[in-house]
Amino acid sequence: MKDSQSKRTVIIGDVHGCLEELDLLLAKVNYRPEKDSLYFLGDIINRGPYSKETYHRYKELQAVSILGNHEWHILTDMKNHGISKYCQRLRAEFGVAFDDFLNDIEQWPLFIENDEFILVHGGLAPGKSPKVTDPKILTAIRTWDGKGDILDHPKNTPWFELYTDSKLVVFGHWAALEGVVRQNSIGLDTGCVYGKKLTALILPERTLVSVQAKKTYHPINSDWVLKKR
């Protein structure tokens, strides 16, 4: 890839602890920390082999991430004293660094919006500003039932088909679709942890760059129930 002199925005989809693929993707996009802005769409950790190491790489990169549903679940679990198996597993993996990790992700925003784009992990409730939207919707929505009670029913319409604004929304979370490309919305979860790909979007040119997963790290589960439309 050409090394343009212009500043770029690089946005990376759900990494899920796939450290090797992240490093390969950063090399493939020719990420330049002195010139480029780097964003992650959340779900940096869990399911893949290297959650702690991937989080540390994220910190080394001095990037910015929004909350994914996996980070959000950790924070909500901790309100219940962190007794879930999910939370305990990550606590064991992070060891003494777990509290610092928690303190950090607690500061991550649920979305980022500027003049050019909106970054959100799950998506947007149709017709509603993300500023007044339930965090569960922002991190977990796939389809819309008109109320926000059921966020992933296969008979309901994908939220992005109901999004009518012109501002670009870049989102993750829906690995079953293996990416979405529309005029006003781009989905970057291409299922790396499930043996598919890790994908980055480069702005302003809207170039998509992917690397193949080294292996399948996690079995296909409910994330894949909603098939590609």
Q: In Å, how far are 5, 19, 58, 82 from 198, measured between CA atoms? A: 25, 10, 15, 30
Neighbours of 27 (CB within 10 A): 11
Q: Is residue 149 part of a domain?
A: yes
* CATH code for the domain of 153: 3.60.21.10
pTM of the predicted model, to two decimals?
0.93
Give me the residue label for tokens 């017709």: 127
- Distance between CA 120 and CA 211 in Å, rounded? 22
Q: In the chain, which stretches have pLDDT less than 70?
A: 1-5, 221-229
Are 224 and 77 within 8 A, CB to CB? Answer: no
Q: How many domains does the chain have?
A: 1
pLDDT digits (tens, 9 = 90+) for 101-151: 999 999 999 999 999 999 999 999 999 999 999 999 999 999 999 999 999
Share of the chain above pLDDT 90, in %: 87
At 228 the pLDDT is: 43
Q: Is residue 1 part of a domain?
A: no
At 80 the pLDDT is: 81
Q: Is residue 2 part of a domain?
A: no
Q: Is residue 3 part of a domain?
A: no
Q: Is residue 161 part of a domain?
A: yes
Query: Which amino acid, 202?
Result: I
Give me the residue label for tokens 């899920």: 16
At 221 the pLDDT is: 67
- Distance between CA 228 and CA 191 in Å, rounded? 13
Q: Is residue 200 part of a domain?
A: yes
Q: Which domain, by its residues, includes 167?
A: 9-224
